[in-house]
Amino acid sequence: AQRVTQPEKLLSVFKGAPVELKCNYSYSGSPELFWYVQYSRQRLQLLLRHISRESIKGFTADLNKGETSFHLKKPFAQEEDSAMYYCALRGAGANNLFFGTGTRLTVIP
């Protein structure tokens, strides 16, 4: 069975500090991993996906198959990064995304 775990419901960091949002997954095959972001009262937006190996808004995430993790990192947090962040998994050949419970990031000015 697939499972996505985001251990922190809430995370607060000061502006300019590094931030890491944790995501661990459980899946027997080779999944696709995603990070979605939801700003206050807005729709979920794709932030990044592991297959693209890109950096969006200064965020990066590396898929670690050994640790089954896909942590989201940014070296210097900004106030506009305050939002809800969801880690999501899509199984091989599957259509739907399976989400973690989300982490609410607050960047303190």
Partner 1 sequence: DAGVIQSPRHEVTEMGQEVTLRCKPISGHNSLFWYRQTMMRGLELLIYFNNNVPIDDSGMPEDRFSAKMPNASFSTLKIQPSEPRDSAVYFCASEKRGGNTIYFGEGSWLTVV
Using CB under 8 A, list all residues that contact partner 1.
32, 36, 42-46, 49, 51, 86, 95-102
Specify the residue, 20 or 32, whose C-beta has the smaller distance to partner 1.
32
- How many CB atoms within 10 Å of residue 33? 22
Burial (CB count <10 Å: 0-12, 13-18, 19+), residue 60:
middle
Specify the residue, 2 or 68, whose C-beta has the smaller distance to partner 1.
2
Distance from chain centroid for Cα 5: 10
Q: How far is the CB of 76 from partner 1 (least distance, A)?
A: 27
Specify the residue, 43 or 66, whose C-beta has the smaller distance to partner 1.
43
Q: How far is the CB of 90 from partner 1 (least distance, A)?
A: 8
Q: How far is the CB of 78 from partner 1 (least distance, A)?
A: 23
CA dist 13 and 5 (Å) reads 21
Specify the residue, 17 or 51, whose C-beta has the smaller distance to partner 1.
51
**All residues at 6 or more sequence positions from 60 whose CB lies less than 8 Å from its CB, including other chains:** 48, 72, 73, 74
Q: How far is the CB of 16 from partner 1 (least distance, A)?
A: 29
